[in-house]
Amino acid sequence: MSERSAVVIVGAGMAGVQTAMALRELGWRDDITLLGDEPHPPYDRPPLSKAVLLDAAAPTGAGGAKGAGVDVRFDVDFDALGVDLRLGLRAQALHAADRTLVTEAGPIPYDHLVLATGAYPVALPGTAGLPAVHLLRTLDDAAALRPVLDSRQQVVVVGAGWIGAEFATAARQAGCEVTVVEAADRPLSGVLPEVVTTPMRGWYAEAGVELRTGTPVSAVEPGAVVLADGSRLAAGAVVVGVGARPATGWLAGSGVELGEDGAVVADDRLRTTAPGVYAVGDCASFPSARYGERMLIHHWDNALQGPRTAAANLLGGDERYDPVPYFWSEQFGRFVQYAGHHTDADTLVLRGDPDGAAWSVCWLRADGVLAAVLVVDRPRDLAQARKLIARSAALDPALAADPAVPLTAAAARA
């Protein structure tokens, strides 16, 4: 009789949980240990900046309870799945040469290891430990922000990115006075062109949020945020949303290669440079043949898709990971979705009026192939574009620019 073999998964977020589920679905019968350093049962992060805060913003019910309560836990029975879920346990180091994980509770040997440690939010320098300064990554972070919304504090949000916009939405809904400060000259300047971000600026104004761009923060003091231009903004609470870094510091010197961006360097099968070690989700980058570059994706869909490929390969398969990236954001009453990946070299085609209620933007490569799409409250465009991008379909630019013409029809006539 052969000995049992062990898969250890580090990180009990979306990617870690999906890996455990995919392994069972694909027939892995031996041991699975899932290790997570947070004390809570595994949960989903996107609602933390949306429903969880908006629930806090809901009026107090007759019984004094806030809203209906939002349960963010994954609906997974780990016992039934035969997964040894070990919460509140941090992986401290990895000895890849002898396939051993070092934890606070002692060494854990493995045959196969999956790294799914996600990312941590970047803090503002000099603000560590300041009680009024908040990050928003975990359930505990969201819980700490609920009283801020409940007591309608004056809030300064640092960073006009996805998280900043979503938090500002909830805080305004709760009745807080909100100022968003952004060091760049416009929101999302690193990821989207001006034609897209200019209307977004209007969303802030319409929601009654003051947006101050081109003004880096120089200091956070008790009760105030000081900007580089000398202005002081009163702040009962400061919420920092300036990006995230892969949670991989503990892997230094382990034999697993890390990139300059801190991500685990995975190959197109999601294998790392250490034997038997895979990496999935926010902590790992992979080479995309579709886009001709290495990608580090910090979005939910990547933490859903990657684990299926990693699990299949761990079980002896030979699957390449090359997804069409996808994410969504809910901000200022709008549903924003993006699929694909564009560069400045691509041609931008506007579908509809960006000052209107619903519109889209397509990016076409020089050969007319659809590279990416961003949609605002046009989910049908998104659904069609995702399939067109997956099959590298070319679009007729004139038809693509007409919002009355379905994107599939613009492809058929290209």
Minimal distance, residue 383 CB to ligand FAD, in Å: 16
Helices then strands (H, E): number in the chain? 9, 26
Nearer to ligand FAD among residue 46 and residue 354 (C-beta): 46
Task: Provide the minimum distance between the beta carbon of 230 and ligand FAD in the complex, in angstroms, as a whole number.
Answer: 32
Q: Find the shortest distance in angstroms from Cβ 300 to ligand FAD.
A: 4
* Six token digits for residue 412: 């058929």
Nearer to ligand FAD, 342 or 369 (CB): 342
Q: How far is the CB of 326 from ligand FAD (least distance, A)?
A: 7
Q: Closer to ligand FAD at the Cβ: 109 or 223?
A: 109
CB nearer ligand FAD, residue 78 or residue 410 = 78
Residue placing its CB nearer to ligand FAD in the complex, 38 or 322: 38
Distance (Å, whole) CA 262 – CA 265: 9
What's the closest the beta carbon of residue 35 comes to ligand FAD, in angstroms? Answer: 5
User: What is the C-alpha separation between 103 and 142, in angstroms, rounded?
Assistant: 27
In the complex with ligand FAD, the residue whose CB is nearer, 168 or 395, is 168
Cβ at position 20, least distance to ligand FAD in Å:
11
CA-to-CA distance for 18 and 11, rounded, in angstroms?
11
Comparing C-alpha atoms, which of 159, 115, 145 is closest to residue 272?
115
At closest approach, how far in Å is the CB of 259 from ligand FAD? Answer: 16
**CA–CA gap between residue 342 and residue 319 (Å, rounded):** 25
Nearer to ligand FAD, 17 or 233 (CB): 17
Taking the complex as a whole, how short is the minimal distance between the CB of residue 84 and ligand FAD, in angstroms? 14
CB of 159 to ligand FAD, least distance (A): 13
Contact 262, 195 (CB under 8 A): no
Structural element, H or E, at residue 205 = helix 194-206
CB neighbour class for 154 (10 Å; exposed up to 12, middle 13-18, buried from 19): middle
CB of 195 to ligand FAD, least distance (A): 22
**What's the token pair of residue 117?**
């440690």
Q: Which residues contact 371 (CB under 8 A, 6 or more apart)?
A: 291, 340, 341, 342, 343, 346, 363, 364, 365, 389
How remote is the C-alpha of 259 from its chain's centroid? 19
Comparing CB distances to ligand FAD, the nearer of 137 and 351 is 137
Cα 190 from Cα 379, distance rounded (Å): 24
Query: Binding residues for ligand FAD, per CB under 6 A?
Result: 10-16, 35-38, 45-46, 48-49, 90-91, 116-119, 136-137, 163, 247, 250, 281-283, 298-301, 303, 327-329
Q: Which is nearer to ligand FAD, 250 or 359 (CB)?
A: 250
The 3-state DSSP class for residue 50 equals coil
Tell me how far apart the alpha carbons of residues 62 and 69 are, in angstroms, rounded to a whole number: 14
Cα 47 to chain center, whole Å?
A: 11
Nearer to ligand FAD, 147 or 249 (CB): 249
Question: CB-based contacts of 309: which residues, under 8 Å, 6+ apart?
Answer: 269, 270, 319, 320, 321
Query: What is the secondary structure of 1-20 as a DSSP string?
Result: -PPP-EEEEE--SHHHHHHH
Residues 6+ apart with CB under 8 A from 310: 19, 22, 114, 270, 278, 279, 280, 321
